[in-house]
């Protein structure tokens, strides 16, 4: 987790109801960039998918059959192992076909949906049909009591509160209700950059319990500077040790942090995570700061994170 503000929005005054489930199959062949431009000009954007339900909805919208075509998937230009949606935000749900993405010839930076709903990577210069998504929004006034039911929190790591509000757009949501927060908030300033190296060999679950009992949680990282901070906090050296990485129990291809939330920044060592023997469900850091997966039952030293909070209003 990175240094910054944790914003708790207490009073919500407008909810935006968005129909984010309408997909349109375009029977026109284009490369990925041309397809993206077409969707943004004539609809909202290339289609995005955050759950199996979304895939089922796309199939229904396309008349019961999915045809192979471009969707909004593309590699993160700053991290070749991470994937994003055309409208912004990293993928959390993933539905890759077996052996995908394989980046054949090192040029497959964009994604298609196949006839069975799974995904594959392709070169963006290739020509396919494609799927656009239409989003229609209407405002709904809410009482204070109703708005409290939608109380939420967002972590601000870089940027401003305005950027947080803008990030809650149609491209990042999995529900049909998008909340616009504009009235009042409590800001909690969190020093979440203090890492502590624990030279005690424990399993991942034991290490997690220890950190949650005596500190805040197992360490987490959202950028390269977080790893450099860990190095500074441990006297200039990084040792092998558990961090908060673990596989999403509902999606074996996705990774999460112990404290919650899927990873966005990734720093895997070459060839990792490889899930050796199919049981490597947790992650540790190497001396060079890269990550590796390992069986959670293996004993390692570990890193805890300490967070000190102070409120401002």
Residue 170 shares a structural domain with residue 251? no
Indicate if 172 and 207 belong to the same structural domain.
no
CATH number for the domain including 284?
3.10.100.10
Is there a domain that residue 276 lies in? yes
Q: Which residues contact 278 (CB under 8 A, 6 or more apart)?
A: none
The boundaries of the domain holding residue 257 are 193-312
Indicate if 217 and 300 belong to the same structural domain. yes
11 lies in some domain: yes
pLDDT at 172: 37
15 and 103 belong to one structural domain: yes
The 3-state DSSP class for residue 59 equals helix
Which residues share a beta bridge with 79?
A: 76
Is the torsion defined by CA of 156, 159, 161, 166 positive or negative?
negative
Among 182, 212, 236, which residue terminates a domain?
182
Assess if residue 162 is contained within a domain: yes
Q: Give the integer Cα–Cα distance in Å for 231 and 263.
A: 20
Where is the domain boundary, 182, 207, 238?
182
Same domain membership, residue 17 and residue 160: yes
Note whether residue 188 is domain-resident. no
Task: Judge if 199 and 301 occupy the same domain.
Answer: yes
Parts of the chain with a pLDDT under 70? 1-21, 136-193, 308-313
pLDDT given at position 12: 37
Q: How far apart are CA 244 and CA 201, in angstroms?
A: 15
Whole-number Å distance between alpha carbons of 78 and 81: 9
167 and 302, same structural domain? no
Q: Are strands 79-85 and 69-76 parallel, antiparallel or unpaired?
A: antiparallel
Q: Do residues 138 and 230 share a domain? A: no
85 and 20 within one domain: yes
Q: What is the radius of gyration, based on Cα positions, of the chain?
A: 21
Position 160 scores a pLDDT of: 33
Tell me: do 75 and 205 sit in the same domain: no
Whether residue 36 sits in one domain with residue 178: yes
What is the tally of structural domains in the chain? 2
**Nearest alpha carbon to residue 211 among 199, 222, 198:** 198
> What is the C-alpha to C-alpha distance for residues 22 and 136, in angstroms, rounded to an integer?
9
pLDDT tens for each residue of 80-114:
889 999 877 888 889 999 999 999 999 999 999 99
**Residue 187: inside a domain:** no
Residue 236 placed within a domain = yes
Collapsing DSSP to helix, strand or coil, 159 comes out as coil
Write the pLDDT tens digit of every residue in 17-29. 344 558 999 999 9
Asked whether residue 201 is assigned to any structural domain, the reply reads yes
Last residue of a domain, one of 182, 216, 246: 182
Kind and range of the H or E run holding 258 = none
Q: Looking at the chain, list the stretches that DSSP marks H as alpha helix, in order from N- to C-terminal side.
A: 32-42, 52-61, 144-148, 161-167, 204-214, 224-233
Beta strands 14-30 and 291-294 are unpaired
For residue 304, tell me if it sits in a domain.
yes
Residues 88, 146, single domain; the answer is yes
């Amino acid at each position: 987790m990175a240094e910054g503000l944790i914003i708790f929005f207490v009073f919500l005054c407008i909810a935006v109801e968005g129909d984010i489930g309408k997909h349109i199959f375009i029977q026109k062949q284009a490369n990925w960039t041309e397809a993206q431009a077409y969707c943004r000009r004539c609809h909202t954007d290339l289609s995005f998918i955050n759950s199996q339900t979304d895939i089922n909805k796309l199939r229904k919208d396309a008349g019961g059959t999915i045809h192979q075509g471009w969707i909004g998937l593309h590699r993160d230009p700053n991290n070749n192992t991470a994937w994003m949606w055309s409208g912004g935000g990293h993928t959390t749900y993933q539905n890759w076909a077996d052996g995908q993405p394989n980046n054949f010839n090192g040029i497959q930076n964009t994604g298609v949906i196949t006839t069975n709903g799974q995904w594959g990577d392709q070169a963006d210069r290739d020509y396919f049909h494609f799927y656009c998504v239409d989003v229609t929004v209407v405002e709904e006034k809410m009482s204070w009591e109703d708005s409290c039911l939608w109380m939420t929190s967002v972590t601000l790591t870089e940027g401003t509160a305005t950027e947080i509000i803008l990030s809650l757009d149609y491209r990042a949501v999995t529900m049909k209700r998008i909340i616009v927060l504009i009235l009042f908030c409590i800001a909690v300033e969190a020093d979440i950059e203090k890492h502590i190296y624990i030279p005690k060999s424990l399993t991942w679950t034991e290490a997690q319990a220890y950190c949650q009992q005596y500190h805040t949680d197992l360490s987490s990282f959202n950028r390269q500077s977080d790893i450099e901070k860990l190095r500074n906090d441990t006297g200039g050296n990084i040792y092998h040790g558990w961090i908060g990485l673990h596989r999403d129990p509902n999606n074996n291809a996705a990774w999460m942090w112990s404290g919650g939330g899927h990873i966005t920044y990734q720093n895997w060592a070459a060839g990792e995570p490889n899930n050796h023997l199919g049981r490597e469900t947790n992650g540790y850091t190497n001396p060079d700061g890269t990550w590796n997966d390992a069986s959670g039952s293996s004993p390692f030293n570990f890193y805890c994170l300490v967070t000190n909070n102070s409120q401002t209003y």
